[in-house]
Amino acid sequence: MKAISTSSPTRANNLNRLAIILWSSAVAVGMSAGLVAADAKAFRAGAARSDITPPLGQKIVGGFHPFPATHIHDELWAKCLVLDDGKTRLGIVVCDNLGMVRGVFDEAARWVEAETGLPRSHLMMSATHSHSAGSALGSDRYQLDAGLDDYQKFIARRIADGVRRAISNLRPAQIGWGRGEEPDQVFNRRWFMKPGTVPVNPFGSARDKVKMNPGRMNPNLVKPAGPTDPEIMLLAVRGKDGKMISLLANYSLHYVGGVPRGHVSADYYGIFCDRLADLLNADKQEPPFVAMLSNGTSGDINNINFMKRGERMPSYQQMNIVAADVAQAAAAALKSVKYRDSVTLGAAFRELQVGLRKPTPDRITRARALIAGIKNPERKSIEEIYAERTMSMAGLPKTLAAPIQAFRVGDVGIAAIPNEVLVEIGLELKRRSPFKASFTHSIANGYYGYLPTPEQHALGGYETWLGTCWFEESSSTKIVEALLQMWNGLK
C-alpha cells in the first residue's frame, strides 16, 4: 500500500473535517457551560428532614422534675431548607426539641461546613421548644464547656445529614412570602394581680408584681402584663413546575401540651406541618415537601385564656385544634403569595458580649442552706430548685458571647436569638426592621434562658427569675440594636 503524504488533498480534507467536528464540539461544550453558569446564577431551593426522635428512656425535660420517655406518639424531626441565589447560600434548620446548648449547634455547623462548604454564618438553626420532646440541653445546661452526650452528638450529626440532603435536592425554584393571622390561639401568660395576692418568689425576698399562669377565672386577675403577636409569617418556595418544595412559617406561641406522661411528641408544631401538607396536597411528593414551623417570640405567650373557664379534653385534642387553625390561616395566606424567580440573599453572624446576672452574697448564703437541707433529690421544692440554679449562676463567668444572627431573603429579614424571647422584643424588631417583613427565631444557635425587656424585668415573675433568665436586665435592648444594625448592613 502506498503511503499517504501529510500534504495530500485527502489528508487535508480529513484534517479539515476533524477540525470542524472539534470546533462544533467545542462550541457545544461552551454553550453547555454557559447554560450551566446561567443556571448556577438562578435561584434554587432544596429541603429535607432528618429523624431526631430520642430512644425510650431519654429524659423529657419540660418541667421542674424530668421523667423518662415511655412512648413515641409522633417522630421528631430536624427540618432543613437551603436557599441559593447563585452567589450566596443559606441554610435554615428547625428542630423538634425543647432546646439545645450551643455546643450541639456548633458541632452540627462544623460538620456542615466540612462536608458542604456552607459557612457557620450562613446556617441558622433553632428548636421549637416542645415540652414533650427530648432535651439536648445535657445533664447541666449551666456547664458552658461540657462535652456532648450521645443524644446531643446524634442530633448534631442528623442536622448535618439533613442539610447535606437539602443541598442535594437543590433545584430551580421560585420564592415568595406573606402574612396570615390567628389571634384566637395566643394569650399573654403574665398577669398583674390584685395587691398582695402574688406569692413570694422562690428567693424569699419579695412579691413579684406579676404572676405567670395565674389560673383560669382567678378572682385576683387584673390584666395581662403584655401584648401578643398573632401574625403567622410565611416563606414559601416551589419548583418551576409549581410543586411546593418547602414552607417556613413562624408563629409566636409556646407549646400547647396536653399529652400523657412519658409521651414523646413534636406538639402543635409537628401537627401543623402534617396538616399543611394535607391542605396543599403535597404529602406524597418526591422529593418530599418539607413544612416547617419555627418558634417566634413566645416567651410570655401560651394558649390559655385565663378569663374563661376551661374544659377537660382528651390527650392531644387541644394541640390538634391549635395546629388546624394555624395551618388553615397559613394555607389561606399562601394563596395571595406572589412568587419571584430570583431574590437577593444575605447573612450576618455576631458574637455579642452580654453580661450575666449574679446572685447577691445574701442569696448565695440562703441557697447553700437550702441545698444542704434537701431531703428528697427526686422531688425538690421550687425553693430548692432555684437554690441550685442560684449556685449555678454564681459559677458562670461575668460575660458571655451570645450568638445572634440575621438573614436577608429578598424583602424579608429573619433574626435568630438564643433565648426564649418575650413577645415585645419580636414586635419591636418587626416595627423597626428595614425590610418589608420580618420575624425572629427563638432558641436559635444556643439556649440561655428567657430574654425579657427591662420593663418586664422590673415586674418580676418566673420569666425574670435568676436561673430562668441568664442575661443582665439591659440585654434585650443591646440585642435588638445589634440585630437592627446587622439587618441594615444586609440591605
Confidence class for position 61, pLDDT limits 50, 70, 90: confident
pLDDT at 220: 97
pLDDT of residue 8: 38
pLDDT for the residue numbered 205: 76
Indicate the DSSP class of residue 316. Answer: T
Task: Give the tens place of pLDDT for each residue, 293-352.
Answer: 999 999 999 999 999 998 899 999 999 999 999 999 999 999 999 999 999 999 999 999
Sign, CA torsion 228/76/262/468: negative
pLDDT on residue 135: 86
pLDDT score, position 230: 98
In sequence order, what are the beta bridge partners of 438?
413
Grid cell, residue 452, equals 425579657
According to DSSP, the residues that pair with 399 across neighbouring strands are: 355
Please give the pLDDT value at position 387: 97
Question: Which DSSP string do the residues of 79-116 spell out, in sequence order?
Answer: EEEEEE-SS-EEEEEEE-SS-B-HHHHHHHHHHHHHHH
Average pLDDT over the chain, rounded to whole?
Answer: 91
E strand or H helix at 192: strand 190-193
The candidate with the shortest Cα–Cα distance to 303, out of 222, 228, 211, 232, is 228
pLDDT in the model for residue 305: 97
pLDDT of residue 9: 36
φ/ψ of 80, rounded to 5, equals: -125, 135
User: What is the rounded CA–CA span in Å between residue 403 and residue 390?
Assistant: 24
For 211-252, what is each residue's pLDDT tens digit? 999 999 999 999 999 999 999 999 999 999 999 999 999 999
Percent of the chain residues past pLDDT 70, beyond the cut: 92
Element (H, E) at 36: helix 9-41
Question: Which of the four pLDDT bands, split at 50, 70 and 90, describes residue 137?
Answer: very high
pLDDT of residue 479: 98
The average pLDDT across 39-45 equals: 78
Distance CA 484, CA 491 (A): 11
33 or 476, which is more confident: 476
Considering 17-26, 281-290, 335-344, the range whose residues carry the highest mean pLDDT is 335-344
- Kindly tell me if the per-residue pLDDT of 361 is higher than 50: yes
pLDDT recorded at residue 158: 98
> Which amino acid, one-letter code, is at 129?
H
The band of 20, judged by pLDDT with boundaries at 50, 70 and 90, is very low
CB 323 within 8 A of CB 154: no
pLDDT at 145: 87
pLDDT digits (tens, 9 = 90+) for 73-110: 999 999 999 999 999 999 999 999 999 999 999 999 99
Q: Read off the pLDDT of residues 179-202 as tens digits, 9 standing for 90 and up.
A: 999 999 999 999 999 999 999 999
Structure confidence at residue 278 as a pLDDT band (50, 70, 90)? very high
Q: Which string of DSSP letters, residue by residue, matches 327-363?
A: HHHHHHHHTTPPPBS---EEEEEEEEEEEBP---HHH
Q: Is the pLDDT of residue 36 over 90?
A: no
Average confidence (pLDDT) over 457-484: 98
Residue 26 has pLDDT above 50, yes or no: no
CB under 8 A, 24+ apart: contacts of 383-388: 383/202, 383/204, 385/64, 385/202, 386/202, 386/203, 386/465, 386/466, 386/467
Is the Cβ–Cβ distance between 126 and 95 less than 8 Å?
yes
Closest CA to 302 of 250, 256, 262: 256
| Contact of 444 with 416, CB cutoff 8 Å | yes
Distance, CA of 353 to CA of 177 (rounded, Å) = 33
DSSP code of 311? -
Query: Which of 51-65, 118-132, 152-166 comes out lowest in average pLDDT?
Result: 51-65
In this structure, what C-alpha cell is assigned to residue 309?
A: 373557664
- pLDDT value at position 165? 98
Q: Is the pLDDT of residue 35 over 90?
A: no
3-state secondary structure of 453: coil
**Domain locations in the chain?**
42-188+222-351+404-490, 357-395
In 3D space, the residue among 86, 56, 163 whose CA is nearest the CA of residue 120 turns out to be 163
Instruction: At 144, list the grid cell.
Output: 458552658
Helix (H) or strand (E) holding 273: helix 267-279
Query: pTM for the whole thing?
Result: 0.91
Q: Look at residue 12 and tell me whether its pLDDT is greater than 50.
A: no
Round the CA-based radius of gyration of the chain to a whole number and report it: 27
pLDDT of residue 2: 32
Position 388 confidence tier, pLDDT thresholds 50, 70, 90 = very high
For residues 291 and 246, the answer to whether their CB atoms sit within 8 Å is yes
Query: Which of 43, 55, 28, 33 minimizes the C-alpha distance to 87?
Result: 43
Task: Tell me what the mean pLDDT of segment 163-178 comes to.
Answer: 98
pLDDT value of residue 207: 85
CA distance 405 to 399: 19
